[in-house]
Amino acid sequence: MPNSPVVEVKDINVVLGKNRILEGISFAVAPGEMVGIIGPNGAGKTTLMRVLLGLLRPTSGRVRLFGLDHDKMGKKRDLIGYMPQRPVLGNHFPLSCLDVVVMGSFTATSMGKLFIGARREKARYCLEMVGLLPLEKKPFAELSGGQQQRVFLARALIKEPLLLFLDEPNAGLDLPTQNNFFALLKELQSIHGLTVLIVSHDLVMISRFAGCLICINRTMHIHGAPMDVLGSSNLERAYRCEFDFISEKVRA
């Protein structure tokens, strides 16, 4: 059905060793939504992202993407793009911008099915989408932090996904660069009809762009429109001692 959720999470629990990382997490994401997953440090945000990607099996509960369990997705897994946290790379990293984007086209179901020339043309198209085609031959390690993030975004888009996951895409970037990155992401989401889930530590920045926020700290404290989340007393309970600092940033 066209209005069926792209992402369905039902009563997810994750226990690692003796530690309960996630408890009773449930939500759904409609096609074309941009959703921010927020919460304090150590809240379980990245663990939830790993569960959504199928990299970690929950202790109990169920995740469905495009109406399918992870083990039933098959080729539909290629409809998922993923942008991980930006690694710190030294100048010895030998790949060009174009090389990094091309790497994103290799998947378990597409290996050997697309000639390298075609892959490189797709990579150039994706670099053009993020405004970096003139830098295609430049060593990736010589780019600024914001340019590296745009390259990783192009890499996530090369499979032409319908669902895009991003893990802390604004970490380590200054405010103007963060704004530019999210504005670009919002534009691409609108043009290509993407459903986007973003893990972010920055409540203020993500609330400017996402249509919905999910606030977790082991459990899900609140799920709704950004202004409703920002005005909820549940936000204070989720952030605990960090909340005074968060509140000052929101008022600013």
pLDDT per residue as tens digits for the range 109-151:
455 445 577 888 999 999 999 999 999 999 998 888 889 889 9
Domain boundary among 127, 161, 195: 161
Looking at residue 141, its pLDDT comes to 86
Tell me the residue range of the domain where 31 lies. Answer: 1-66+162-252
CATH code of the domain containing 59:
3.40.50.300
Domain boundary among 118, 138, 161: 161
**Same domain membership, residue 156 and residue 146:** yes
**Same domain membership, residue 100 and residue 150:** yes
What CA–CA distance (Å, rounded) separates 57 from 54? 7
**Same domain membership, residue 117 and residue 52:** no
Looking at residue 93, its pLDDT comes to 66
Looking at residue 246, its pLDDT comes to 46
**Same domain membership, residue 169 and residue 252:** yes
Whether 129 is in a domain gets the answer yes
Looking at residue 247, its pLDDT comes to 45
**Same domain membership, residue 240 and residue 211:** yes
Q: Which residues of 71-106 are buried (b: 16+ CB within 10 A; e: fewer)?
A: eebeeebbbbbbbbebeeeeeeeeebbbbbbbebbe
**Same domain membership, residue 61 and residue 168:** yes
Residues of the chain with pLDDT under 70: 1-2, 86-93, 107-115, 240-252
**Same domain membership, residue 195 and residue 155:** no
**Same domain membership, residue 93 and residue 36:** no
Helix (H) or strand (E) holding 50: helix 45-53
Whether 111 is in a domain gets the answer yes
**Strands laid side by side in the 60-65 sheet:** 19-29, 7-16, 60-65, 68-69
Residue 108 CA from chain centroid, whole number? 21
Looking at residue 52, its pLDDT comes to 96
**Same domain membership, residue 116 and residue 4:** no
pLDDT per residue as tens digits for the range 105-114:
875 545 544 5
Whether 4 is in a domain gets the answer yes
Domain boundary among 120, 137, 161: 161
Do residues 209 and 185 lie in contact, with contact meaning Cβ atoms separated by under 8 Å? yes
- 218: nearest Cα among 27, 47, 57: 47
Looking at residue 88, its pLDDT comes to 56
Count: domains in the chain:
2
**Same domain membership, residue 167 and residue 136:** no
**Same domain membership, residue 121 and residue 60:** no
